[in-house]
């Protein structure tokens, strides 16, 4: 089989062009020049991994005269968003990436607790990795006075799978709803047809991520969960909100296992490892993945600080607790009122410098492969 070389982010560009072609067929793109289209298609911040933008969100902004000069508030806010996105990638996503890479490369030797930590690590890695790119793209867009759409709205706070897809990769959900689900008939042709349309949409979403049966199974699981939620919504709504969140979060975690696995068999092996509950020990190699340079430096500074696996295990627990606090308690960037003060500027500059200096290796964004 020949290796086929494809541009990075080809799927994002493809969906954007499909949307433009359909809207053009519907007569919604009249009045645009070729230059308008070219700039819209080639606007570089969101080319690699989104968000998936529509023409009416970008082209009118390109033609507004006020956007042709520097807006210092937009520029300052853009630098802040870019910096926070970069920091999330380097200080959070890449840490989890080490644990995930080690875990999926050692599935057969994992303990039950290892497998659980690896599963949770990928759930957190993919969120912080993908959302960090989106933050950086939106930030760069703002520097050019272009406002890109929000792509995440605290998806791990979701209390149902339907709620999850209103929060996760919002622009993908919007595209599939507008250009696939509704043209298929949506929910206008009875329950059976509605359920079939939902399954088709999620299977397409799985295939969009990659030509591997693992992605198809991931899409099928989310489609099935969406159908079941729609069918049994009255019973679901009677559950306590904490239980709704827990079940939803657990399901999302288990589905991510197949999304990340090289094969469906590998995914089932990882889940089996967790279900067996044979050992609650954590491998030293996995703990080492969470040994952060800052923590190591502090230990050296305070020579009396504990060392060994116990101390590294504490590092891991603190790091996991820190990320959950961010996910569940902090507001999204777009919900925070930003004021370009001197203090904000200094903090942003410090964080940006620390992020750049912490780039010890070359890492890619997960969604660059799609």
Considering 209, 222, 229, 284, which one is annotated as catalytic? 209
Predicted pLDDT at 189: 85
Q: 32: burial class by Cβ within 10 Å (0-12, 13-18, 19+)?
A: middle
Give yes or no for residue 147 having a pLDDT over 70. yes
Confidence label for 333 from pLDDT (cuts 50, 70 and 90)? confident
Rg (CA), the chain: 22
Across residues 321-336, what is the average pLDDT?
Answer: 85
Does 240 map to a domain? no
The tokens for 284 are 């030293």
Instruction: Round to the nearest angstrom and report the end-to-end CA distance of the chain.
Output: 20
Confidence label for 254 from pLDDT (cuts 50, 70 and 90)? very high
Mean pLDDT is lowest, of 52-61, 169-178, 261-270, 324-333, for 324-333
Predicted pLDDT at 231: 93
On whether the CB atoms of residues 261 and 214 are closer than 8 A, the answer is yes
Across residues 113-128, what is the average pLDDT?
Answer: 94
Distance of CA 342 to the CA centre of its chain: 31
Per-residue pLDDT tens digits for 198-247: 999 999 999 888 878 999 999 999 999 999 999 999 999 999 999 999 99
Looking at the chain, the whole-number percentage of residues with pLDDT higher than 70 is 88
Does 236 map to a domain? no
Element housing 209 (H / E):
helix 191-209
Annotation says 55 is catalytic: no
Does 24 map to a domain? yes
Does 39 map to a domain? yes
Does 154 map to a domain? no
Give yes or no for residue 8 having a pLDDT over 80. no
Count how many Cα atoms sit within 13 Å of the Cα of residue 214 in the half-sphere of its side chain: 17
Across residues 131-149, what is the average pLDDT?
Answer: 91
- DSSP assignment, residue 332? P
338-344, long-range: CB within 8 Å, 24+ apart, which pairs? Answer: 338/76, 338/77, 338/80, 340/72, 340/73, 340/76, 340/77, 344/76, 344/80
Confidence label for 311 from pLDDT (cuts 50, 70 and 90)? low
Predicted pLDDT at 246: 96
Does 348 map to a domain? no
Predicted pLDDT at 307: 52
Predicted pLDDT at 362: 62
Across residues 306-332, what is the average pLDDT?
Answer: 77
Give yes or no for residue 322 having a pLDDT over 90. no
Tally of domains within the chain: 1
On whether the CB atoms of residues 47 and 363 are closer than 8 A, the answer is no
Mean pLDDT (the chain, rounded): 87
On whether the CB atoms of residues 135 and 81 are closer than 8 A, the answer is yes
If one counts every other C-beta atom within 10 angstroms of the C-beta of residue 291, the result is 16
Give yes or no for residue 70 having a pLDDT over 50. yes
Give yes or no for residue 1 having a pLDDT over 50. no
The tokens for 214 are 């693992």
Does 34 map to a domain? yes
What is the C-alpha to C-alpha distance for residues 50 and 248, in angstroms, rounded to an integer?
A: 25
How far CA 355 is from CA of 94, 95, 121, 348, 349, in Å, comes to 12, 13, 21, 10, 10
**Domain residues for 47?**
10-68
Query: Which one is predicted more confidently, 130 or 11?
Result: 130
User: Of 185, 203, 206, 183, which is closest to residue 194 (Cα–Cα)?
Assistant: 185
Does 132 map to a domain? no
Across residues 30-34, what is the average pLDDT?
Answer: 88
Across residues 27-36, what is the average pLDDT?
Answer: 88
Confidence label for 187 from pLDDT (cuts 50, 70 and 90)? confident
Confidence label for 304 from pLDDT (cuts 50, 70 and 90)? low
Mean pLDDT is lowest, of 30-39, 51-60, 303-312, for 303-312
């Amino acid at each position: 089989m020949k290796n086929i070389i494809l541009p990075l982010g080809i799927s994002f560009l493809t969906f954007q062009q499909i949307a433009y072609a359909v809207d053009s067929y519907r007569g919604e793109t009249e009045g645009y020049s070729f230059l308008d289209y070219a700039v819209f298609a080639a606007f570089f911040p969101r080319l690699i991994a989104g968000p998936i933008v529509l023409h009416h969100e970008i082209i009118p902004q390109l033609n507004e005269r006020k956007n042709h000069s520097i807006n210092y508030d937009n520029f300052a806010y853009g630098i802040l968003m870019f910096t926070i996105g970069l920091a999330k990638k380097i200080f959070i996503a890449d840490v989890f990436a080490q644990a995930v890479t080690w875990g999926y490369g050692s599935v057969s030797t994992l303990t039950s607790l290892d497998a659980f930590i690896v599963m949770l690590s990928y759930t957190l890695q993919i969120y912080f990795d993908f959302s960090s790119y989106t933050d950086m793209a939106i930030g760069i867009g703002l520097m050019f006075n272009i406002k890109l759409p929000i792509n995440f709205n605290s998806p791990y706070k979701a209390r149902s799978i339907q709620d999850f897809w209103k929060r996760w990769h919002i622009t993908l959900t919007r595209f599939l709803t507008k250009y696939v689900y509704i043209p298929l008939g949506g929910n206008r042709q009875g329950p059976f047809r509605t359920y079939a349309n939902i399954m088709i949409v999620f299977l397409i979403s799985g295939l969009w991520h990659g030509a591997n049966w693992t992605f198809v199974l991931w899409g099928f699981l989310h489609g099935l969960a969406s159908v079941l939620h729609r069918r049994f919504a009255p019973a679901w709504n009677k559950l306590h909100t904490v239980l709704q969140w827990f079940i939803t979060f657990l399901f999302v975690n288990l589905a991510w296992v197949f999304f990340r696995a090289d094969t469906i068999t590998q995914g089932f092996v990882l889940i089996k490892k967790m279900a067996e509950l044979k050992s609650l020990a954590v491998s030293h190699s996995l703990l080492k993945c969470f040994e952060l340079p800052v923590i190591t430096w502090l230990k050296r500074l305070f020579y009396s600080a504990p060392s060994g696996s116990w101390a590294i295990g504490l590092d891991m627990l603190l790091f996991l607790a820190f990320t959950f606090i961010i996910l569940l308690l902090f507001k999204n960037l777009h919900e925070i009122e930003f004021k370009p003060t001197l203090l904000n500027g200094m903090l942003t500059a410090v964080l940006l410098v620390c992020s750049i200096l912490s780039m010890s290796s070359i890492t890619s964004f997960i969604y660059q492969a799609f």
